[in-house]
Amino acid sequence: MTSTQERRVLVFNSLDEVVADAERLAAGEVRTTGQHSFGQILEHLARTHDLTTGRVQGPRPPWYMRLIIPFIKPMVLKDQPVKPGFKLPPDAEAFFWEEGDVDVAQALAHLKDSVEYYHSHGPLPKHPMFGKMTLQQNLSLNLRHAALHLSFVHPA
């Protein structure tokens, strides 16, 4: 990992494209720019998909986030790239981001399994963080979220 903010420009149109990009990257050597390793990023994406399908239960957002979510939800749901730098509360940080080394093959398998589960079960009618969303809004958010995090992973 390096500390620069060099990023790839990514736009995904489907979760299958996300998996294909992750598989292509996992097939070779990579370097990351930012704070997380490739394995951590893949595991993070898998955990968020598991959360949006109800496969796992995440920590409840703190009271101050529940107050501001209605105001930021319209900005988050715009079809624009997700910006880096969103700081999670400590318990959410621990839930969504694995500490230490994360095996890329295991994290990729988890992501593929999570995406397959997402395809077959779909997102919950009520998003755990943003509440009621259409299927398209949920998918768009997941695709833009994946584009954000995978943009920090570069073929070496």
Q: Which residue type occupies 76?
A: V
pLDDT recorded at residue 140: 92
pLDDT recorded at residue 118: 92
Assign 57 to helix, strand or coil: coil
pLDDT recorded at residue 147: 96
pLDDT recorded at residue 93: 72
Residue boundaries of the structural domains of the chain: 15-155
Query: For the chain, how long is the longest CA-to-CA vector?
Result: 44
**Cβ neighbours, 10 Å, residue 37:** 20
Each of the 156 residues of the chain gets a pLDDT tens digit; together they read: 544 479 999 999 999 999 999 999 999 999 999 899 999 999 999 999 999 898 998 888 888 888 888 888 888 788 777 766 667 766 777 888 899 999 999 999 999 999 999 999 888 878 888 888 888 999 999 999 999 999 999 999
Give the Cα separation of 70 and 149 in Å (integer): 24
- What is the number of alpha carbons within 13 Å of residue 149 lying toward its C-beta? 23
Give the Cα separation of 21 and 68 in Å (integer): 34
pLDDT recorded at residue 86: 67
